[in-house]
Amino acid sequence: MAAALILVCVALELDLPGVERRVPVAEEVQSLEFQLYGQDSVYGDSQDPEMIDRFLTLHQMLVEERPTDSNWDEHALYGSVHLDYTLKSGAHLRRNYSFTISPSEIEAHAALAEQLTELARDPEVWQAYMKERFEPGRLVTVEMYLDREGRTLTFESDTAREILAALKKDIEAGHAGAYIFDSEGWDANTYSTNLSFYYRTQEDTGNGDYYKGSYSEEVQISKDYTYLLAALEKAGVDIDGLTTYQKYYDEDYDMPVYYQNPISPGETGEYRGPDELAPEIASGDAAIIGGADGPTAVYVG
């Protein structure tokens, strides 16, 4: 029994039955749900034979090359591909692939990287993403998150619809998705802000509660979105004041930090600044709690 179980495990690990390597033929496929995920993501569904065929080509390349997670590198090509085929027989075939391809391995996977990039920035792929998720008739408001302090700009009515129309023009022009699988290009060209498009899922009650019964879709803004940036500038946004991720990482930002001094369990004392707490921090009587960006709080025991 033990020997038989070992043989079964080995067979599955090596995919001897060919289950993992199976790629359906185009004639078998009724429709496809897909997701490409890297620095950003694009997902959707399609019944278009040409688009399905392109994803089948990508699927075949992933099966043949079997890229796996290599050592992490900030310039690596990393991401995942999720495919869910609905076959004409009514069955589903689902596959998930995750990978981190280091710069030293990119050349060996050049064709795969090219196919990933082409699909990630294809206007038809993005239109499949937008067709049900960005409905102008249900659009209520657009919010633009400006910085870590949580400051936002809100656009409503005609302005919100103009911003959405500009986004669609950028997608039709092929301006979206260029850096999903390009971490260096993403940092250099993508702004550290995003737009949230809020939509109704039910009729407005008239009470001004726009966010009740709603859903939202977020969009990262890159320098390539020329129509969108023009629409935002027209709406009053200081485009020159936007910060790319690269600049965001490189510069030293002064963040609001709160320092709390508990007097006893359950009792909160006065708030003190970093200079006042420096002796406790140096002596080890205070603990700094936070992430790479700096402390979010200093607790004194």
pLDDT averages per 10-residue partition of the chain, 301 residues: 69 51 92 94 93 96 82 79 95 93 86 94 92 80 81 90 95 94 92 90 56 77 96 93 86 44 43 59 57 47 42
**What pLDDT does 232 receive?**
95
Task: Note whether 277 and 184 are same-domain residues.
Answer: no
Let me know if residue 9 belongs to a domain: no
| 183 assigned to some structural domain | yes
Asked if residue 213 is part of any domain, the answer here is yes
| Final residue of a structural domain among 128, 143, 163 | 128
CB-based contact 172:179 (threshold 8 Å):
no
Residues 81, 173 within the same domain:
no
Structure tokens at 290: 């936070």
| The predicted structure's pLDDT at residue 301 | 42
Can you give the pLDDT at residue 1? Answer: 85
- 190 lies in some domain: yes
242 and 137 both lie in a single domain: yes
Query: Does residue 122 sit in the same domain as residue 203?
Result: no
Q: Quick one: pLDDT at residue 214?
A: 72
Distance CA 91, CA 159 (A): 45
- Same-domain check for residues 205 and 291: no
Both 236 and 144 in a single domain?
yes
Q: Is residue 165 domain-shared with residue 181, that is, in the same domain?
A: yes
Q: Is residue 173 part of a domain?
A: yes
Whether residue 167 is contained in a domain is answered as yes
Q: What is the pLDDT of residue 112?
A: 93
Instruction: Please give the tally of structural domains in the chain.
Output: 3
Q: Of 80, 95, 128, which one is at a domain's C-terminal end? A: 128
pLDDT digits 0-9 by tens, 225-272 = 999 999 999 999 999 989 898 887 776 544 433 333 443 444 444 545
Structural domain that includes position 114? 20-128
Q: Is residue 1 part of a domain?
A: no
Q: Looking at the structure, tell me whether residues 205 and 264 fall in a common domain.
A: no
Residues 95 and 150 in one domain: no
- Domain final residue, candidates 98, 128, 158: 128
pLDDT for res 113: 92
Residues 164, 117 within the same domain: no
Domain assignment present for residue 203? The answer is yes
Same domain flag for 145 and 107: no
Sheet holding 77-87, edge to edge: 41-46, 29-37, 77-87, 92-101
> What's the pLDDT at 208?
54
Residues 162 and 236 occupy one common structural domain: yes
pLDDT on residue 9 = 61
Query: For the chain, how long is the longest CA-to-CA vector?
Result: 73
